[in-house]
Amino acid sequence: MRLTSATAAALTALSSIRLANAHCYIWGVYVNGLDQGTFRAIRTPAYNGPPPRGYANSPVKDLDSIDLRCNVLGDKQVPDTIQVQPGDNLTFDWHHDKRTSTDDVIASSHVGPAMVYISPDPPGENTFVKIWEEGKYEEGAQPLAPGKWATTEDIAANHGHMNVRIPAGLKPGHYLIRAEMVGLHEADVAYDKNPMRGAQFYPNCVQIEVVGNGTVELPTGVSFPGAYQYSDPGIVYDVYCSTKTKTTAPCTTTYQIPGPTVWSGAWKGTTEVELGPISGPTTATRWSSWIERSIVTTATLVDNSVEIVATSSYVASWSTTYATPTPASQPPL
């Protein structure tokens, strides 16, 4: 099957519309301000369609899906890890199109909370522990204004930077950081009631290795899927309700972030550090494979043509054993 230049042109026009969706994911990780390299140690989500119309990190809306853990392809271990010590500041660099300060990061309509969890790697049942969260922190001043939220007024306004610190005294070992942003722009109804709407989850996972002589072990956490329920007030929420002039239902002016409370062993606050230069590319390589409805398609790309060469089924398969990757204590040259 071949997509001709004419077809590609049409798809390019379609992709320009889809760009407004601004589905973001983590492009890099800074440790104490030092960039570890673009896409290094990050389980980058799959693209959901052929070039140029596809995009990475489609939102997960089904709360019973294993993709809620680390998104599509989140079960696939990458060949490197980032070495950190307790107390280190991690800055996750979220972006949409490119890793630059001019990137839109996430659509301005995608207001919602942001959370960070940590789990031993590989994760299992009840292993994800929440170590940071931020939700709605200011009411809207104008009619129909949604207020100020973590995803847009904090992270996107700070060029995609999300900060969290490694818990004090954490025991050495391999861990998985699960960071996520949530879009509530269609969350006035639950996904299981209307699959065309529902809260949009953007989880992304990073492999780290904690070194040092810490002795603190993580407590019992939550599972993904399982941590969020459609009945949770933070899952179904009308971001515009509190400023509507007319409504038939009571309006809630506060927002309850879904999931467990932040672990008492987590740092009480985050530290914003000065960031050094980016190490690695600032744009993504044109992709040649994608996953749609659990079907993996691979293709060859020649000029403006996409020729499909193979298809196969994709079913997430999480290993219970760990294959030690290469430590990345310094960014690649």
At 22-40, the pLDDT tens digits run: 579 999 999 999 999 999 9
Least Cα distance to 70 among 158, 193, 175 occurs for: 175
Residue 270 near residue 133 (C-beta atoms within 8 A): no
pLDDT digits (tens, 9 = 90+) for 129-155: 999 999 998 877 765 667 789 999 999
Rounded CA-CA distance 11/5 in Å is 10
Average pLDDT over residues 33-50: 95
Rounded CA-CA distance 277/34 in Å is 8
Average pLDDT over residues 294-311: 90
Per-residue pLDDT, 7: 33
Per-residue pLDDT, 1: 32
Average pLDDT over residues 2-13: 34
Amino acid at 126: N
Residue 138 class from Cβ within 10 Å (0-12 exposed, 13-18 middle, 19+ buried)? Answer: exposed
Rounded CA-CA distance 184/238 in Å is 8
Per-residue pLDDT, 251: 66
Average pLDDT over residues 304-312: 90
**The two structure tokens encoding residue 314:** 């994709």
Residue 269 or residue 34, greater confidence: 34
Rounded CA-CA distance 237/184 in Å is 7
Residue 19 or residue 247, greater confidence: 247
Residue 14 or residue 28, greater confidence: 28
Q: Which residues contact 17 (CB under 8 A, 6 or more apart)?
A: none
pLDDT of 239 strictly over 90: no
**The two structure tokens encoding residue 275:** 């960031």
Rounded CA-CA distance 98/240 in Å is 30
pTM of the model: 0.89
pLDDT of 237 strictly over 80: yes
Rounded CA-CA distance 329/333 in Å is 12
pLDDT of 333 strictly over 50: no
- Which percentage of the chain shows pLDDT scores above 70? 86
pLDDT digits (tens, 9 = 90+) for 275-294: 999 999 999 988 999 999 99
* Correct CATH for 2-327 of 1.10.8.640, 2.70.50.70, 3.65.10.10, 3.30.360.10: 2.70.50.70
pLDDT digits (tens, 9 = 90+) for 250-263: 666 689 999 999 99
Residue 12 or residue 275, greater confidence: 275
pLDDT of 245 strictly over 50: no
Per-residue pLDDT, 11: 33
Residue 272 class from Cβ within 10 Å (0-12 exposed, 13-18 middle, 19+ buried)? Answer: exposed
Rounded CA-CA distance 112/114 in Å is 7
Average pLDDT over residues 221-230: 98
Query: Cα 323 vs. chain centroid, distance in angstroms?
Result: 23
